[in-house]
Amino acid sequence: MKVYVAGATGRVAHELIKDLVAAGHDVIAAARTPENIVLSDISDAATVQDHVTTVAMDLHGSVESLAATIGTSDAVYFVAGSRGKDLLQTDAFGAIKLMQAAEKQGATRFVMLSSLYSLEPAEWERPGMESLRDYITAKFFADHYLVTSTHLDYTILQPSNLVEEPGKGTIEIGDGAAMTNPIPDVAGTLAALLDHPNTVKKVVRMGTGPTPIDEALEHVE
């Protein structure tokens, strides 16, 4: 597939691009500063040249400008984020404009990296959620739009706390999932979603667990 990754300078995107290339996909790596996209640790330089294209993308821009960067992509990932600096224009409305651009271009598969409980405001009162309130509110509006106002074949992935640890290649899906996720496991799960049509139109909650990623995704209902 030709796969578009929005937010390609981020930590998750870095691992995601490597996983997508390893799976045989062609990647359009999109970011506001494409010169900062790191591809040097994909060991085969020829693989990068043949299978990864970097493009400048501005989530503050128009739907038309975003659509032009998506081109003929089959699937679109939103893994961008402002890290709290620009939640409305990037994390909320930027995501919505990218959805509109995907539909405009006919890219039906859309994978959203979101946050735990993004669509369940009643859960935001849990201890420890206070510092995430503005971020999760932005994700709520983006995710709600994706579910209710598009015809995209979406999957919304809701990891809990991302940690800078080596990936285990195993996860747990559902309400009992652990409250941490090594970044490589989140990226690996995002990449694997393309091979699991049963995850279309689903919100998938994940954490660290004992089950290999593909096996865990096979049981999403």
With tokens 């995601």, the residue in question is 16
- Domain range for 195 is 2-218
The pLDDT confidence band at residue 101, using thresholds 50, 70 and 90, is: very high
The pLDDT confidence band at residue 38, using thresholds 50, 70 and 90, is: confident
The CATH number assigned to the domain holding 76 equals: 3.40.50.720
For residue 122, report the phi and psi dihedrals to the nearest 5 degrees.
Answer: -60, -25
Which tokens sit at 31? 């970011």
**Which 8-state DSSP code applies to residue 196?**
-
For residue 69, report the phi and psi dihedrals to the nearest 5 degrees.
Answer: -80, -30
Output the CA–CA distances (angstroms, integers) from residue 155 to 35, 39, 64, 168, 209, in the order listed: 29, 26, 23, 22, 20
Residue 45 reports pLDDT greater than 60: no
Q: Count CB atoms within 10 A of the CB of residue 163.
A: 13
Q: What total number of domains does the chain contain?
A: 1
Residue 128 reports pLDDT greater than 90: no
Annotate 89-122 with DSSP letters as a single string.
IIIIHHHHHHHHHHHHHT--EEEEE--TTTT-GG
Average pLDDT (123-144) is 89
State how far the Cα of 23 lies from the Cα of 16, in Å rounded to an integer: 11
The overall average pLDDT reported for the chain is: 92
Q: What's residue 147's pLDDT?
A: 98
The pLDDT confidence band at residue 39, using thresholds 50, 70 and 90, is: confident
Q: Count CB atoms within 10 A of the CB of residue 38.
A: 12
Percentage of residues in the chain with pLDDT exceeding 70?
95
196 residue type, one letter: H
With tokens 């899906």, the residue in question is 173
State how far the Cα of 116 lies from the Cα of 132, in Å rounded to an integer: 10
